[in-house]
């Protein structure tokens, strides 16, 4: 944060005028110029003392309306400050990753400072410190002082709404693979069984007991159904070299990764998200904390390292949908990517070189090139878009019919 000079432009002019009058007074012997010069210098000195001498102290607290700020989302920051200072102009120092009008007059009429910020680049960024600028009554000197500490704001990738996946795996498509141990009234995934001596009385299923006329207890019923795997290839060879500016292609890939993971979880799948080295970035099993954890992990992601073989990452036949997201892809690399018999293998590349799409399709991938339009790229890869012979929806699958329409 650059520091402002103590003297304003007007103050600098007054200082130079005073010195000029003193020099002229000595040259021409005019006493009036000497008086004027001393007056200019005295006023300037008074202005500097007026802004520098008063002691200032205070505390600053910030509250952001959202814990996680999504790219292109607007949030509100509320600042409470209690310094003992005169009136002035305030501003909150914002990083380049967010935009907002964080400045105004102090103290405000409402007694509380508030402004809106919009995320424009994912990551974890500091907001602050709070800076107060005061100027003397003559406008000759100024003082700018920072108060309080910074507060971190996490900007997570934007999540887009995607079309339903027509390929269904399992009886219900994707009821998430869970092993439930919930007990008590209202557990829908628990089935009653006959009471056995030694069972806890807390597990008695009173509704089933009343219906059957004998003691029934709740029994855990495991739901086992396919999981989905999302792989984000962040190997350095696939992306532009990291620099001060964000790589639009990599940002689109990260946003696609987040959108696909959240979408598959909403369709009922348990979702694992890994990178190209096999590092687990997040898991989604129906809990809101899981989603936030994944988004925070993706917010701090950057290209690095080399990619491992996909078959090694998958570890055999994936039980459900397999989504692979990569950067620049040529025909040779596409031929090495094998979906390992996944029920719904989808491959997205931000830059497909000649022959890459054909090679990927030959090996069973549903391929689409990834651009800024995340939802459109996802729709392009869906089976009803990629294969005319598969566009006829099943009469027993109304969701597929809706997508085709």
Whether 320 and 286 share a structural domain? yes
Whether 322 and 338 share a structural domain? yes
**pLDDT score for 210:** 67
The count of structural domains within the chain is 4
CATH number at residue 317: 3.40.50
**pLDDT score for 325:** 97
Whether 113 and 213 share a structural domain? no
Residue 195 lies in a domain: yes
Task: From 1, 255, 284, select the one nearest 122 (Cα to Cα).
Answer: 255
Whether 94 and 140 share a structural domain? yes
Residue 179 lies in a domain: no
Distances (CA, A) of 340 to 176, 313, 345, 352: 21, 10, 9, 21
Residue 360 lies in a domain: yes
CB atoms within 10 A of CB 107: 16
**pLDDT score for 205:** 75
Whether 342 and 370 share a structural domain? yes
Whether 380 and 272 share a structural domain? yes
**pLDDT score for 81:** 81
Whether 400 and 292 share a structural domain? yes
Residue 170 lies in a domain: no
Whether 36 and 107 share a structural domain? no
Whether 27 and 105 share a structural domain? no
CB atoms within 10 A of CB 18: 20
Residue 174 lies in a domain: no
Residue 138 lies in a domain: yes
Residue 347 lies in a domain: yes
Whether 263 and 373 share a structural domain? yes
Whether 33 and 152 share a structural domain? no
CATH number at residue 90: 2.60.40
Question: Mean pLDDT in runs of 10 for the chain (405 residues)?
Answer: 82 95 92 94 94 82 90 93 75 93 83 90 93 91 89 95 75 42 40 75 71 72 63 92 81 97 93 92 87 94 90 75 95 90 90 94 94 94 59 36 38
Alpha-carbon gap, residue 233 to 253, rounded angstroms:
9
Residue 178 lies in a domain: no
**pLDDT score for 85:** 61
**pLDDT score for 403:** 37
Whether 234 and 215 share a structural domain? no
Domain that holds residue 140: 60-156
């Amino acid at each position: 944060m650059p520091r402002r000079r103590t003297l304003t432009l007007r103050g600098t002019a007054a200082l130079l005028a005073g010195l000029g009058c003193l020099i002229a007074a000595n040259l021409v012997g005019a006493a009036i110029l000497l008086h004027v010069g001393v007056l200019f210098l005295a006023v300037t000195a008074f202005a500097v003392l007026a802004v520098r001498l008063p002691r200032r102290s205070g505390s600053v607290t910030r509250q952001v309306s959202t814990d996680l700020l999504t790219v292109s989302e607007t949030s509100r920051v509320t600042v409470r400050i209690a310094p003992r200072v005169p009136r002035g102009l305030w501003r909150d120092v914002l990083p380049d990753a967010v935009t907002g009008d964080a400045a105004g007059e102090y103290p405000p009429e409402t007694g509380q400072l508030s402004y809106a910020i919009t995320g424009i680049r994912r990551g974890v960024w500091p907001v602050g410190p709070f800076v107060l600028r005061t100027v003397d009554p003559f406008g000759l000197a100024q003082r700018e002082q920072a108060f309080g500490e910074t507060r971190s704001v996490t900007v997570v990738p934007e999540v887009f709404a995607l079309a339903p996946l027509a390929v269904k795996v399992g009886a219900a498509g994707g009821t998430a693979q869970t092993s439930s141990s919930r007990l008590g009234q209202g557990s829908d995934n628990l089935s009653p069984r006959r009471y056995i001596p030694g069972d806890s009385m807390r597990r008695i299923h009173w509704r089933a007991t009343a219906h059957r006329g004998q003691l029934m207890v709740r029994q855990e019923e495991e739901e086992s159904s396919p999981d989905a795997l999302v792989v984000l290839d962040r190997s350095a060879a696939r992306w532009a070299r990291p620099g001060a500016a964000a790589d639009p292609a990599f940002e689109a890939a990260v946003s696609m990764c987040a959108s696909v993971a959240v979408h598959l979880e909403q369709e009922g799948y348990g979702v694992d998200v890994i990178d190209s080295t096999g590092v687990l970035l997040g898991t989604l099993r129906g809990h809101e904390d899981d989603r936030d954890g994944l988004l925070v992990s993706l917010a701090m992601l950057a290209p690095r390292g080399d990619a491992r073989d996909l078959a090694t990452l998958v570890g055999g036949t994936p039980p459900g949908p397999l989504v692979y997201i990569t950067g620049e892809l040529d025909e040779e690399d596409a031929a090495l990517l094998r979906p390992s018999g996944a029920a719904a293998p989808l491959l997205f590349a931000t830059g497909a070189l000649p022959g890459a799409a054909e090679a990927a399709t030959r090996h069973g991938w549903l391929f689409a090139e990834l651009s800024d339009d995340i939802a459109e790229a996802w729709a392009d890869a869906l089976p009803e878009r990629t294969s005319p012979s598969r566009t006829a929806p099943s009469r027993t699958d109304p969701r597929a019919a809706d997508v085709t329409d």
